[in-house]
Amino acid sequence: MFILTLAVADDIGALAIIAFFYTDELRLGYLLLGGVGLLLILQFRRLEVWRGIAYFIVAAGTWVAFYESGVHPTLAGVLIALILPVYPPRRSEVERAGELTRAFRQSPNSDYARAAQLGVLRAVSVNERLLRFYQPYTAFLVVPIFALANAGIVVTGQTVSDAIRSPIAWGVVLGLVVGKLVGITAATAAFSRLRPGSLPPGLPLSQISGGGALAGIGFTISLFIVDLALDSPDAANDARIGVLVAAVLATGLGWVLFRLSDRRHPPEAATGLVLLRPVDPDRDHLRGPVDAPLTLVEYGDFECPFCSRATGSIRDVHRHFGDELRYVFRHLPLDDSHPHARFAAEAAEAAAAQGRFWDMHDHLFVNNDALTEDDIYEHAAQVGLDIDRFAEDMRLGRYRHRVEDDDLDAASSDVHGTPTFYLGATGSDLTLHNGPFDAATLIRRLEAARGP
């Protein structure tokens, strides 16, 4: 996931460089027209225009405007792709599509067939529809033609000898192999120091360095820039050989760094006996004083009956310790056995955005046998949430990443069941609780952690 995200951001940055530094003649009139096209697509998105033909016409005009302006039109394609709306299917439109499909099944005719087709299309975002439509053409036609057209390298003893002596070839190799590794690793290290805890558990800098090395494999944009930057056929051939040599070296270097990382941080070493991600009051959901001397962390699943029973135990533990205990809840939806748990977890996070996490938390556990999508919306109304805002947050999946972060924490700690508890004195390592999770047992463990 890190390497994929990095590759996308890297290509966007490279295309921006192409647009700003490899534009020989800039025609402002056409560039302004391209900007108007982008604004129009953005307005389509705000108005929730769903017909792909509208986006296609404006996007084609925007591409031509960028081409005529002198700015490389590839940048226009990237900007359009970033602006196009993408969202999970809307609940109301999915239901409408279902109604139209049922109507067609009961009375099959061309009118109902067309209505059902449009209903299904409207429920899916334009971005996803275009991706599905164009992916076969881009994957099997456009990209291979691009690679064949731009990687035309003459490989002979003389050209290889020239490339070995060429500062251009060595510059390309150093930039892709050493520059990517040093730049990505150093930047990640700097940001992780500025924002401690930003790296997920199980992803140390040693593995980041392996990903940074593998980033040197990318050759499409590199070949693209070779054609734009070098007029001499001999110099361009040297640079292309450098690109391909760098891809081979980057692959080998990435393999070596990952092997070294595995030796230094063997995967089996993460036993889950200690909580990997420390409690963060700005991130985690806390019940009790932030500076309480004792901490109890639970990884739970709203659809898990054992978690529901444990909720009663937690109340008794809280009554016993009072302000000496802070309780932290983290999500671990067990998708295989509890199909509604993840949606319920996202609903709790959407409630947290309105300052009602614990209200929703308690309500969901009380009703853990009724967590379908319709049930969740009823629970949200009963808790007193702003339903319009709640529905929009759920439709766009605004807090899905928050649930996935907790899920990743649990997986990194080798936690696969619920409820799972970590406990101990605040400020020290929280250890895994094994055994029963009734109130009396949890109280004894916490009393032992507190000490005399």
Task: Give per-residue pLDDT as tens, 327-343.
Answer: 999 999 998 889 999 99
> Which tens digit of pLDDT belongs to each residue from 74-111?
788 888 888 887 766 666 777 788 888 888 888 888 88
Can you read off the two tokens belonging to residue 118? 């449009």
What distance in Å separates the CA atoms of residue 168 and residue 304, rounded to the nearest whole number? 61
Q: Is the pLDDT of residue 324 over 90?
A: yes
Distance CA 403, CA 88 (A): 16
**Are the C-beta atoms of 426 and 298 separated by less than 8 Å?**
no
Lowest mean pLDDT, pick from 28-32, 155-159, 371-375: 155-159
- Residue 269 confidence class, pLDDT cut points 50, 70, 90: very low
CA 449 from chain centre, in angstroms, equals 37
Taking residues 258-278, report their average pLDDT.
74
Residues in CB range of 449: below 8 A, 6 or more apart:
294, 423, 424, 425
Token pair belonging to 116? 């059902």
**pLDDT surpasses 60 at 137:** yes
Give the torsion sign (CA, 205, 207, 211, 214).
Answer: positive
**Domains of the chain by start residue, with CATH:** 2-87+125-150 (no CATH), 157-269 (no CATH), 285-450 (3.40.30.10)
Q: Facing residues of 423 across strands?
A: 296, 431
Percent of residues, the chain, with pLDDT higher than 90: 39
User: What pLDDT shows up at residue 186?
Assistant: 94
Say how many Å lie between the first and final Cα of the chain, rounded: 47
How many Cα atoms within 13 Å fall on the side-chain side of residue 29? 1
Distances (CA, A) of 251 to 165, 220, 223, 258: 23, 16, 18, 11
What's residue 202's pLDDT? 65
Minimum mean pLDDT range among 117-131, 202-216, 370-384 = 117-131
Neighbours of 196 (CB within 10 A): 9
The pLDDT of residue 270 is 44
Res 37: pLDDT = 92
CA 433/CA 305 separation, integer angstroms:
19
Whole-angstrom distance, CA of residue 386 vs CA of residue 85: 24
Query: Given this model, what pLDDT does residue 78 score?
Result: 81
CB 390 within 8 A of CB 439: no
Angle 52-69/73-83 helices, nearest 10 degrees? 150
At 172-192, the pLDDT tens digits run 999 999 999 999 999 999 988
At residue 201, the pLDDT reads: 61
- Asked whether the predicted pLDDT for residue 145 surpasses 50, the reply is yes
Residue 285 has pLDDT above 70, yes or no: yes
Mean pLDDT value of segment 416-435: 89
Please confirm whether the linkage preceding 167 is cis (ω < 30° from 0): no
pLDDT of residue 226: 84
Q: What is the mean pLDDT of residues 117-134?
A: 80
- pTM for the structure as a whole: 0.52
The residue that leads in pLDDT, 136 or 358, is 358
**Mean pLDDT of the residues in the chain:** 86
- Report which of residues 415 and 394 the model is more confident about: 394
- Separation between Cα atoms, residue 350 and residue 347, nearest integer Å: 5
Tell me if 288 sits within 8 A of 325, measured CB to CB. Answer: yes
Q: Are 31 and 69 in contact (CB under 8 A)?
A: yes
Which two three-digit tokens encode residue 25? 């003649």
pLDDT at 267 over 70: no
pLDDT (average), residues 271-279: 80
Contact criterion met (CB below 8 Å) for 67 and 375 = no
Q: In what helix (H) or strand (E) does residue 354 lie, and over which residues does it extend?
A: none
